Structure 1
Amino acid sequence: IVFVFRSGFNLGFICPRKFERIGLVSSVEDYLKRKKIAPDGLEITLEQLTETIQKRKSPIKPVLLDQSTVAGIGNWIVDEVLFQAKVHPERLANELTPSELERVHSAIGFVLRTAIEHEANYGLFPRSFLIHAREWDASPFEHPDQHKRCPEGHADIVQTRVGGRATYFCPVCQVIP
């Protein structure tokens, strides 16, 4: 679908995976409320995030992927947030400590701002990011296999599935207490 504006600006919508829909709404706020979409990751407060997470008895990874918890966060972002926060992806959401919740909240903003700053060009992300383990881009490291290790050098990155989604984490930095 291409929207052509009088100004000459064109807006295209392409969804090869056929996940998305387009529709007209009279109010963005009403739509978000009706669809139970939480505040955006850059706008959500620690209190809002804490209130939602503490009600959930599921592993934190699928809880963060749920757009009713925090909007705009996809699979690789959740892995990165949890790595930066040093929280295991299978840790039960309702068992996170106040310190862990603060770290998750802070990491959401940090990861999203980094992605925006680099226009999601993963190769430009800091070496301290887990994203390089996904091998989506040319490794920023000299040694060809260095990206397969924790950016802090602790262990090989584990690749598994959590909540049915591909998941990457460091078994040393991200432990379940």
Structure 2
Amino acid sequence: MPELAEIHRIVHFIRQHLVGKTLSKVQAQNDDIVFGKVGTSASEFQKAMQGKQIMGAGQQGKYFWITMSSPPHAVMHFGMAGWLKIKDADTYYYRSDKPADKEWPPKYWKFLLETSDEPKTEAAFVDARRLARIRLVDCPADDIRNHTPLKENGPDPVTDKDIVNEAWLKEKVGKKKVPIKALLLDQANISGIGNWMGDEILYHSKIHPEQYSNTLNDDQIKELHAAIHYVCSTSIGVLADSEKFPEHWLFNHRWGKGKKNQPAVLPNGDKITFLTVGGRTSAVVPAVQKKTGAVAKDVDEDAADGTPANTKRKRIAPKKESDSEAEETPKTKKRGASPKQSIKSEEESEEEKPKPAVIGRRQSTRTK
């Protein structure tokens, strides 16, 4: 699932290409899951958007919205593999030479937007796996975050930087006895952090992902707070273009360079091990991330041999969605990331094989 950084990327392109323009044509394909599970229909969406001007776009964690010249407004998240394509713009999270991926309208589109200006701008929301959600929220634009699903989610560490301060974090971790990685992934606590960002944050703060949150000392909380803002601000500063991530980041070395059974190591030789925390595969650097308090369990020696997991696992059907968007918590799969690439579906990278796709400028030599 796209995380905070990727959503920031798409909001950037919406503002660049769509804001201020009037929609002369809107098409929406009936989908009782993508639209219907959140109480919207394709026809309602089409009617609500047709002929209106796009006034703005915003983000809270993994959710984003488009505000119109009058309510209702569209609030969306991408699920595992959804995205918003803008014709002739470089918004997407991977490159492909397949002719089908260059077709317009693109395959698996859920809605198409076309602006009235010349040259017109065309956009398409795509989702092959139907785990994305598109809804209408009928309220003033400034009040969107006070409505479901945003009101059920925690603050965004970038948008709500003043809220996500050290004192707030200390109170949050102290109230819960859960592995700190699980706490970070739970969108009810803090919005936007997924698997790769959570691992990166814990690596920079030198905290073991299994350590119980309420055992962190003041110095660790201070480091954790600093790492949250460092990783978030750095990744959005380059529009989630992983080719521009700092070379020393765990992100760049956790994938074994795509070689099966190839141990993952940092440039300094520190081994990267893998274990499951909160139902998610986590990358850990034991030489840096020490256990300084009670942990959920000891690291499984077989899982900590430094080799990325390449085995296929049986797919699990997505749980029924509630208004609080339960699939956004760490109990379900989220999007991960890969080196020199945009961040691919965590489910795809864990359950199939880590063959990531690119956000950066160079053509990927791997396939999705």
Q: Identify whether the pair has TM-score above 0.5, normalized to the shorter chain.
A: yes
Partners in 2 of 1:9 and 1:46 — Cα distance? 43
Shift of 1:18: 3.0
> Of 6, 9, 13, which residue of structure 1 is paired with 2:125?
13
> Of 265, 273, 293, which residue of structure 2 is paired with 1:158?
273
Residue aligned with 1:100, SS: helix
Residue 240 (structure 2) pairs with residue 120 (structure 1): yes
List aligned pairs for 1:1-177, cutoff 5 A.
1-7=111-117, 8-25=120-137, 26=139, 27-31=143-147, 35-42=151-158, 43=161, 44-135=164-255, 148-150=264-266, 153=268, 155-177=270-292
Root-mean-square deviation over aligned CA pairs = 2.5
Partners in 2 of 1:15 and 1:101 — Cα distance? 38
Question: For residue 165 of structure 2, what is the amino acid of its counterpart?
Answer: T
**Residue 14 to residue 98, structure 1, CA distance change in 2 (3 Å):** farther
Partners in 2 of 1:10 and 1:45 — Cα distance? 40
Partners in 2 of 1:30 and 1:79 — Cα distance? 30
Per the normalisation by structure 2, the TM-score is 0.42
Partners in 2 of 1:137 and 1:70 — Cα distance? 31
Worse overlay, 155-164 or 116-125: 116-125
Per the normalisation by structure 1, the TM-score is 0.82
Partners in 1 of 2:285 and 2:257 — Cα distance? 20
Shift of 1:5: 4.3
Worse overlay, 35-44 or 8-17: 8-17
Shift of 1:48: 2.3
Are the equivalent residues in 2 in contact too, given 1:122–1:137 (CA < 8 A)? no
Are the equivalent residues in 2 in contact too, given 1:49–1:69 (CA < 8 A)? no
Cα shift readout 1:23-49 (whole Å, capped 9, x = no counterpart): 111232222676421111222222222
Are the equivalent residues in 2 in contact too, given 1:37–1:69 (CA < 8 A)? yes
Q: Which runs of 5+ in 2 are unaligned?
A: 1-110, 293-368
Are the equivalent residues in 2 in contact too, given 1:158–1:169 (CA < 8 A)? yes
**Residue 104 to residue 32, structure 1, CA distance change in 2 (3 Å):** farther
Cα shift readout 1:43-92 (whole Å, capped 9, x = no counterpart): 22222222222211110001100111111111100000000010000010
Partners in 2 of 1:14 and 1:176 — Cα distance? 42
Identical counterparts, % of pairs: 31
**Larger of the two Rg values belongs to structure:** 2
Partners in 2 of 1:33 and 1:97 — Cα distance? 33
Bigger proportion of residues as strand? 2
**Residue 154 to residue 94, structure 1, CA distance change in 2 (3 Å):** farther
**Residue 109 to residue 38, structure 1, CA distance change in 2 (3 Å):** same
